[in-house]
Amino acid sequence: MNETNRILFDELALWVEQGVLRALDLALARFVQREAGEQDPAVLLAVALVSERNAHGHVCLDLGDALAHPETLLASDTERPPEPGIHDALTARLAGLDPAAWAARLGASSAVCDLAGSDDDGGAPLVLAGTPRRPLLYLRRYWRYERIIEQGIAQRLARPQPLDPARLRPLLADLFPAEHGDPWQRIACVLAARSPFAVITGGPGTGKTTTVVRLLALLQGLALDADRAPLRIRLAAPTGKAAARLNASIAPRVADLPVAESLRATIPTAVSTLHRLLGPIPDSRAFRHHARNPLDADLVVVDEASMVDVELMAALIEALRPETALVLLGDKDQLASVEAGAVLGDLCRRASAGHYTEATAAWVGAACGQSLPPETLDDAGTPLDQAIAMLRHSYRFRAEGGIGALAQRINTEPAPTRTEIQALFTAPQQEALGVIAELTVRTPDDPALIDLVVSGYHGYLRLMRAQAPAAEADNTEIDDWARAVLAAHGEFQLLAALRHGPWGVAGLNARIADWLTRAGLLDGTDHAWFAGRPVLITRNDYGLRLMNGDIGIALETPLRDADGGQRRVLRVAFPHPDGGDAIRWVLPSRLQAVETVFAMTVHKSQGSEFTHTALALPDHPTPVLTRELIYTGITRARERFTLVHQSPRVLEAALRRRVRRVSGLRLGAEDEEQRS
């Protein structure tokens, strides 16, 4: 190793110590230097940076962005901005480079495959892709994930279904009677019916589930009318909680469809997690279903698609037969997945404006009699644009106040001012609009916060005690009790932006257990496990069929010994993974990756809803706090939302910061940021 690189690695090691680089990032750079013989410090630095970017959700390293905004790199693991000197050192390292020169040096490395228009990565650990105007550096597996997604979607967009609009009209008239006034739900059904790939996006309460149920009825009706076998349809969601929610909401909507029973019987209501759908292989990243063993399905529908990272989306698309259609549902404005990628956001980049061609407008008009708004028409629209529908009317919250108005204003450019937000909180509250409240506290132990949390969790803990099954209770009675406790727990949830510190979930969970004990609602919290402890699974456990994000509650249940004696045993109750009524009971000793979840990060709350949601902001601005995080926290609430904070400047800073995850997923749509 030459002296220049020895100094570089010493600096990278210092960044690891300071928490802005992972040991893994440094190890990858050392590997490339050692195994590929790479001596160019600009290449080795790029290797460490692309690995660091993956850890923060980015699929690749945008060389131009990195040079223009080095302050966005090296995000601190402590959730505080890194020391200013770190970015000064990084800026000095990047001095003298421009995107083209940096790309040329990377392209000359044996560790980097410069595609230059080819799709052959040559087996190199890194791939240089993108365009001359926007060179992108990938770890090879992430480049491969994006290519699988792009190719799978493009192949489906290239073969729209040859449907006769006249066949759709009578079915649509039944499914959307005159009193059903939302035109975008009809439009979404029509667009998705003719495209083997489609996206239906919209905020909470806009009717995504209602629309997809009608879409399934439309497709099955077309099949039955043509004397074909019903479509084999699979429904999935990223987490067990999201799957259970979809299962609970889809069944009554199917029951209410104004169609013949023979048609209704062909529409599935069972929902599985994506992992279970694909068939996980223990101790492996691979799945049982893949390109050589595809899923047996004609159509796959995925809800809460904003939570699906680039790796899982690639695995799903690879597991589909070429003729299998795919429909994604989700809110494009929610936080992206915890892991790398923002696939739904990338696909829906242009959804608000529509970009529908005249041909699409004519098809929609012929199929359902609906005219597309003139402002959504654009003859330069891409094939992807024609397959995306954005639902725009919320049936859960009205836009004139409360939760709906707050979520809409936060999600609208330009960023709202503190005065605008304050006006929404101080406006007269109406239950029908979703009540919003603001709680200003002095410390994380403020009595007002204690009262909020104790009253929020009082219901499920009182029910747990008051309705605890007697010693002679049978399994049905015990399961009914557990189901009621789990449902009551969903009435309130405290969310936090951070994991660490006094306002992070770790500190909040410890204090909340103490508050509830002092309120007489919990016992035995000095032990790791106690009755009433809500827990969150943090790593997939395929043996127990528990997935990352599943929530359970520890409960004391009566148990009869082999000799007929009675004792009480602490077990953890989880809802059925696919949304059924059954309860799964697991001994605490078998749970290896769990955490207490009186307080939950906003990221972990995705796919869940609570009657009353409270969002606690930290006492300082941090890069983790973004407009998308605030919006996601607000929209977890069904009826009430409470914002807890110490200083209005923290909220103001969050609303000015937007998530922008770097990827190369384009599918023919020009990147807005490349336009001159």
Residue ranges at the known binding site for ATP: 202-209
Rounded CA separation 614/446 (Å): 15
Rounded CA separation 570/528 (Å): 12
Closest by CA to 208, choosing from 177, 235, 171, 174, is 235
Sorted by sequence, the CB contacts under 8 Å of residue 92 that are 6+ apart come out as: none
Sorted by sequence, the CB contacts under 8 Å of residue 275 that are 6+ apart come out as: 287, 540, 542, 547
From the annotation, which residues make up the binding site?
202-209
Q: Is the N-terminal amide bond of 258 cis, ω within 30° of 0?
A: no
Rounded CA separation 554/533 (Å): 5
Rounded CA separation 341/285 (Å): 17
Closest by CA to 303, choosing from 215, 397, 199, 231, is 199
Cα angle value 429/433/436 (rounded, 5°): 50
- HSE-up (13 A, CA, CB side) for residue 306: 25
220 with 212: CB under 8 angstroms?
no
Q: At what angle do helices 165-175 and 358-368 cross, to 10 degrees?
A: 60
340 with 665: CB under 8 angstroms?
no
Sort strands 566-575 and 583-586 into parallel, antiparallel or unpaired: antiparallel
Rounded CA separation 521/494 (Å): 17
Q: What is the dihedral of CA 399, 400, 403, 404, to 10 degrees?
A: 0
491 with 612: CB under 8 angstroms?
yes
Sorted by sequence, the CB contacts under 8 Å of residue 596 that are 6+ apart come out as: 509, 513, 533, 534, 535, 536
Sorted by sequence, the CB contacts under 8 Å of residue 227 that are 6+ apart come out as: none
Helix (H, G, I), strand (E, B) or coil at 444: coil
Amino acid identity of 131? Answer: T
- Can you state the percent helix, strand and coil of the chain, rounding each to 5? 45, 15, 40
Torsion-angle region of residue 520: left (phi > 0), alpha (psi -120 to 50) or beta?
left
Rounded CA separation 156/375 (Å): 27
Residues in the chain: 676
Closest by CA to 66, choosing from 44, 97, 33, 40, is 97
